Amino acid sequence: MGTENCGILNDLSPVFRPYVQNMYQDLKLGLCKTKVDFERISCSPDGSESQFRVILPYCSKKLKWDILFDSSTPWFAPDFRFDDDSFLSNIDDEFLESKVPSLAKWNECDPRALSNVVSELVNLYKIHQVKKLHEDESSRAYFEYTALLGDALTSEYDVEVWVGNHIVEFLIRLKVDTSRLPELYSEGIEENPGIDTALLLVRYPNSTNAELILSPQLTKSLGNISLPQ
């Protein structure tokens, strides 16, 4: 854990630290499977903090969600403050029980409780972004998205969608056959670290500036690859 994250962890009330430790160690979200990060959002005395910001990878973005516990009732589930005002702006208890069961049935004794809630919320955020894309069925991005899902090689689980005011992003997991690539071994490690994924980041309306994102192991095997302009 980095110095900044260690400082945030030490500032937290001890009752909340297991949740953050579990998130940092075990939670890897999105197609890129990147670890989450943390930021301070207030300055309480050491060991008494109950609020922090989690930074989540999504498409090419970093979602910044505030997580707000209450030190006076540490057994209660946390509140969330999102950086997108349109996300979960009007929900009820029935929706929470159905879509975010780990929050509706919060288990304060489980260090994985917060990781489970965040995972469920990220899944809802992805659905939210796809719904925003469907609001303009005449757009090029909507056409390309439906065409992608019409391809037998690509499912909705292989695509992350982000819709901004004047831009739409797709992060697409590419199917790569690595069976003929040589096995790679990291120095000092006997086990093969494996070959991860290849991703394609496309932005609309200017889809010609697509970026190919290779995992470190795939880059080591294939070298740096540039897409034709």
How does strand 168-174 pair with strand 198-204?
antiparallel
Supply the pLDDT for residue 154: 87
Q: Roughly how many angstroms between the first and final C-alpha of the chain, as a whole number?
A: 39
In tens, the pLDDT along 169-181 reads: 999 988 876 666 6
Supply the pLDDT for residue 193: 42
Supply the pLDDT for residue 189: 43
Q: Are 35 and 18 a contacting pair, CB within 8 Å?
A: no
Residue 19 to residues 52, 67, 86, 114: CA-CA distances in angstroms? 12, 11, 27, 6
Distance CA 128, CA 159 (A): 14
Supply the pLDDT for residue 7: 74
- Residue segments in the chain with a per-residue pLDDT below the cut of 50: 185-195
Residue type for 67, please?
A: I
The count of other CB atoms within 10 Å of the CB of residue 111 is 17
Long-range contacts of 89-92 (CB under 8 A, 24+ apart): none
The number of angstroms, rounded, from the C-alpha of 161 to the middle of its chain's C-alpha atoms is 12
Structure tokens at 22: 């579990």
Buried b (16+ CB within 10 A) or exposed e, 61-73: eebbbbbebeeee
Q: Where are the domains of the chain?
A: 3-128, 137-222
Supply the pLDDT for residue 188: 46
Structure tokens at 63: 């979602």
- Coil vs helix vs strand at 68: strand
Distance CA 121, CA 124 (A): 5
Q: Torsion angle of alpha carbons 121, 125, 128, 130, nearest 10°? A: -130
Distance CA 146, CA 137 (A): 10
* Residue 182 Ramachandran class (φ > 0 left, ψ -120 to 50 alpha, else beta): beta
- Coil vs helix vs strand at 74: coil
Supply the pLDDT for residue 194: 44
Distance CA 126, CA 132 (A): 10
pTM of the predicted protein model = 0.84
